[in-house]
Amino acid sequence: MKEFELKYGCNPNQKPAKIFTNNGSDLPIEVLNGRPGYINFLDAFNGWQLVKELKEATGLPAATSFKHVSPAGAAVGLPLNDVLAKIYWVDDLGELSPLACAYARARGADRMSSFGDFIALSDICDVSTANIIKREVSDGVIAPGYEPEALEILKAKKKGNYNVIKIDKDYKPEPIEHKDVFGITFEQGRNEIKIDDSLLANVVTKNRDIPESARIDLKIALITLKYTQSNSVCYVKDGQAIGIGAGQQSRVHCTRLAGQKADNWLLRQCPKVLDLQFVDDLGRANRDNAIDNYIGDEYMDVLAEGAWQKVFKVKPEVFTAEEKKAWLAKMDGASLGSDAFFPFADNIERARKSGVKYIVQPGGSVRDDLVIECADKYGMAMVCNGVRLFHH
């Protein structure tokens, strides 16, 4: 297949639309079901690169949940404990494959943002993974292959219109890439930088101890940032992104946004949240909304209006600010990556509030000394690797 005609571009008025290679070669994909659109393919191709690199860097199956050309979550296939299985709504599915664990983690970290995602999988999609995808609101999936039964499960989704793309895992694009804006063609070399342990060598803080688990998390952060719209910051814990701040003009706003998402991820694990009793037949998306409202300030409005009865069987107690602060204080050992240098130490101060102990960033700010000093104040280990990862 030399080209694939699209229904329209980013918006319905943008026609005609298609995808093709610049050199006229065959597309490295096969559309097995559905009719993916312009944004679907942008998410699919960026997501595939991300999971391919995660697999290469860690040796573990990887998955990402993409929305509007940035990942909402990314993870490798480490086992889930009972609490994570519950907050990701997969505790009823029995034993999950490593790839299914990767997607459950990628989807579950920021479920609000992952609603209606496009999925990328590093490995052949198995039945375990397809059974998770089957019941989530999602636009499509890209993977290097599909088990026959898994493919049939996915084909039945969305009344038979679910987008399923198979990609040639050995496809290698041209070293030069192009992009048209306002009738002007931009040309640049592809960002082929390899994310490995060599990018974690230059530890600039007094604390130089970065355990292997944190090194994996830091690499996950860097690879995730490589395919996240800039400016971007990524928090990672135990093999998965737990908060991604994308596309902000200010660095500290990235750090705050990603930190808030990381905090929500941890607050969902609090017994007070785990014990919420929902009304029967309340869908997962509505449960997610209810939990976010309960964790946030909106729950007071729900109480005042008496609307809690539409969501909960039993009226939950208020989750007080003091209780939240005490629970968040339990977070420790998180990792953080930034796609460009931190211009001020306020980023470090915010990161500390979400339990960050390990940081990787390019360095190069005129205030690097103040940023390092702040990291030293909290006993953090920070790497300055000199590599910027802007993505636009």
> Position of tokens 């990524």?
234
Residue 267: name the closest of 347, 323, 336 by CA.
Answer: 323
* pLDDT lower than 70: segments of the chain: 298-305
Indicate which residue of 52, 55, 67, 357 is catalytic: 67
The span from the CA of 388 to the CA of 337, in Å, is: 11
Q: What is the pTM of this model?
A: 0.96
Give pLDDT, residue 303. Answer: 63
The span from the CA of 337 to the CA of 344, in Å, is: 15
The tens digit of pLDDT for each residue in 7-48 reads: 999 999 999 999 999 888 999 999 999 999 999 999 999 999
Indicate which residue of 23, 159, 172, 392 is catalytic: 392
Give pLDDT, residue 315. Answer: 86
The span from the CA of 144 to the CA of 44, in Å, is: 12
Give the β-pairing of 70-76 and 62-67.
antiparallel
Active-site annotation holds for 191: no
The span from the CA of 246 to the CA of 337, in Å, is: 12
Residue 352: name the closest of 323, 376, 321 by CA.
Answer: 376
Give pLDDT, residue 121. Answer: 98
Q: Is the peptide bond before 11 cis (omega within 30 degrees of 0)?
A: no
User: In 3-state terms, what secondary structure has residue 74?
Assistant: strand
Active-site annotation holds for 253: no
Sort 81 into a burial class: Cβ within 10 Å, 0-12 / 13-18 / 19+: exposed
Indicate which residue of 231, 264, 347, 385 is catalytic: 231
Active-site annotation holds for 33: no
Helix axes 212-226, 38-58, angle to 10 degrees: 160
With vertex at residue 200, the alpha carbon angle to CA 195 and CA 203, rounded to the nearest 5 degrees, is 160
User: In 3-state terms, what secondary structure has residue 105?
Assistant: helix
